[in-house]
């Protein structure tokens, strides 16, 4: 089979176009992979932003103002470092904690409450006498 010059030029052009197609298709695949990677990063950043916003919102609007002062910029505690339940408990005094303990963890009945009241007073007395080496 003999091919003429025109047919030969068409075959060369076809080979060049196939080569160009392969390189451009590879570029397309690379771009799709890069887009997928960037989309993954955007999703991660969106998730992190929402989590940090929730932390900020909870600390700004659900924590008493006197405790918020200790969370201001420049303090040693940064937002998100301490759970909200722990921060709120910083504002409670011992009596509040004891009342909450009585309501949640003590068994039903007046006898057990008397026992725990005596136990707490004894622990406070021991802590007072042995805690600081004297009165403050």
* pLDDT, averaged across the chain: 77
Percent of the chain with pLDDT strictly greater than 90: 37
pLDDT tens track for 36-55: 999 999 999 999 999 999 98
Cα gap 122→100, rounded to integer Å: 19
Q: Is the pLDDT of residue 132 over 70?
A: no
96, two tokens: 């509040």
pLDDT at 135: 47
Nearest to 91 by CA among 105, 114, 71: 71
3-state secondary structure at position 22: helix
Cα gap 17→109, rounded to integer Å: 90
Rounded to the nearest 5°, which phi and psi values hold at 86?
Answer: -70, -40
pLDDT at 134: 47
Of residues 136 and 78, more confidence is placed in 78
Of residues 93 and 126, more confidence is placed in 126
CB 67 within 8 A of CB 91: yes
pLDDT at 120: 75
pLDDT band at 64 (very low <50, low <70, confident <90, very high): low
CB 63 within 8 A of CB 84: yes
pLDDT tens track for 102-124: 666 555 555 666 777 777 778 77
The model carries a pTM of: 0.42
What number is the average pLDDT over the span 21-46?
98
């Amino acid at each position: 089979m003999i091919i003429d010059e025109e047919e030969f030029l068409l075959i060369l052009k076809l080979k060049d176009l196939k080569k160009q197609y392969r390189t451009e298709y590879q570029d397309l695949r690379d771009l799709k992979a890069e887009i997928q990677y960037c989309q993954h990063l955007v999703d991660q950043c969106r998730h992190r932003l929402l989590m940090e916003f929730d932390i900020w919102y909870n600390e700004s609007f659900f924590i008493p103002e006197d405790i918020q002062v200790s969370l201001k910029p420049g303090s040693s505690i940064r937002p998100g470092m301490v759970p909200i339940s722990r921060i709120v408990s910083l504002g409670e005094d011992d009596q509040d904690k004891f009342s909450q303990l009585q309501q949640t963890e003590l068994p039903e009945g007046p006898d057990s409450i008397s026992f725990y009241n005596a136990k707490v007073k004894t622990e406070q007395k021991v802590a007072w006498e042995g805690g600081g080496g004297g009165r403050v």
